[in-house]
Structure 1
Amino acid sequence: MSAGELPWQGGCRCGQVRIKVSAQPLLTMACHCTGCQRMTGSAFSLSVAIPSEGFEVTRGEPVIGGLHGATRHYFCPHCMSWMFTRPEGMDWFVNLRATMLDDPSWCRPFIETWTSEKLPWVSTSAVHSYAALPPLESYEQLLADYARHSEED
């Protein structure tokens, strides 16, 4: 699961919004919730959690879209690509849609969430699966396991 050398570059479909990642990912995941299914137009959303200090929008101004609630989903204002999410109360990371990276080929989900809502024919290579979200107390161990798993690949 080698992600290659940092920094990584990425952007929306039309290129008006560009991003830079300068920190190793904390975790990769596939979310099977019906909200992600609808926002991606796919069976799940593939994402990579990046420490906030290692994430930067380098061009353009993303806009809030999706559900306009406390958890903020950011989109390109022109092509409307869903680019990243800043979950409420978790300002220490950005949940980047992995496919916004110029090279997302390395990104395999380490965990999958909301399997209670997944489409019956979907399977991933995730190491850990959760019917909803992992319990809050599990994240410290998951992050450590992901770091070890990433080094081994």
Structure 2
Amino acid sequence: MHNPNVKFPISGACQCGQLTYQLFEKPKMVLACHCTECQKLAGSPFSVTAVIDTSAIKFSGEMKEWSRSADSGNENIAKFCPNCGTRIYHYNPADMSTIKLKLKPIAPEVANLFEPSAHVWVSKKLSWYTIPDGMKCIDKQP
């Protein structure tokens, strides 16, 4: 559950520290995605994505981008650090109101802010991973 005592803005940085950001409000939602693309991205059974209002975050540093078509047919553009390769966020150029933040702060006092409220694409979930009891599960994309 979200810690109501989190003080904004909170900061995050890529692995090498070249790219930083300040987040000024809590995410709109946080999802654990089990699609095969997120499994590739994370190198794990799922990737955690925080949906953020574009106006609630400010980035500093250089980013490069890569794009692919999503299953929905939308374009999915990924921003990443050109030095260390850390994935920063994704966005759909047809809807610039939000971004899908991949790089979350790891400080213990803000970690719960990025706890998923649902698991999506569970139809692609790896058999050896068990979703916690009581977690909302969605077969594909919400």
TM-score tier, shorter chain, comes to: 0.7 to 0.9
| CA displacement at 1:24 relative to structure 2 | 2.0
Selected match of 1:96 from 90, 98, 101: 101
Alignment match, 2:54: 52
Supply the AA of the counterpart residue of 1:75. Answer: F
Decide whether the 8 Å contact of 1:40 with 1:82 is kept in 2. Answer: no
Supply the AA of the counterpart residue of 2:123. Answer: S
Alignment match, 2:111: 105
Supply the AA of the counterpart residue of 1:105. Answer: A
Cα displacement string for residues 55-87 of structure 1 (whole angstroms, at most 9, x for unaligned residues): 1112x111113x445211111000001111113
Alignment match, 1:27: 29
Identity %: 26
Q: Which has the higher strand share?
A: 2
- Alpha-carbon spacing, 1:123–1:89, altered in 2? closer, same or farther (3 Å): farther
Q: Which has the higher helix share?
A: 1
| CA displacement at 1:6 relative to structure 2 | 1.0
Alignment match, 2:90: 85
TM value normalised by structure 2: 0.83
> How many pairs were matched up?
131
Supply the AA of the counterpart residue of 2:2. Answer: S
TM value normalised by structure 1: 0.77
- Aligned-partner Cα distance in 2 for 1:42–1:79: 19
Q: CA RMSD in A?
A: 1.8
Cα displacement string for residues 92-145 of structure 1 (whole angstroms, at most 9, x for unaligned residues): 111111x531425212110111111110122334732111111xxxxxxxxxxx
- Aligned-partner Cα distance in 2 for 1:17–1:33: 27
- Aligned-partner Cα distance in 2 for 1:122–1:71: 26
Unaligned runs of 5+ in 2: 70-74
SS at 2:96 equivalent: coil
| CA displacement at 1:22 relative to structure 2 | 0.6
Unaligned runs of 5+ in 1: 135-153
Alignment match, 2:72: none
- Aligned-partner Cα distance in 1 for 2:13–2:54: 17
Selected match of 1:8 from 10, 21, 43: 10
Decide whether the 8 Å contact of 2:105 with 2:111 is kept in 1. Answer: no
Structure 1 residue 114 corresponds to structure 2 residue 121: yes
- Aligned-partner Cα distance in 1 for 2:141–2:7: 30
- Aligned-partner Cα distance in 1 for 2:122–2:100: 19
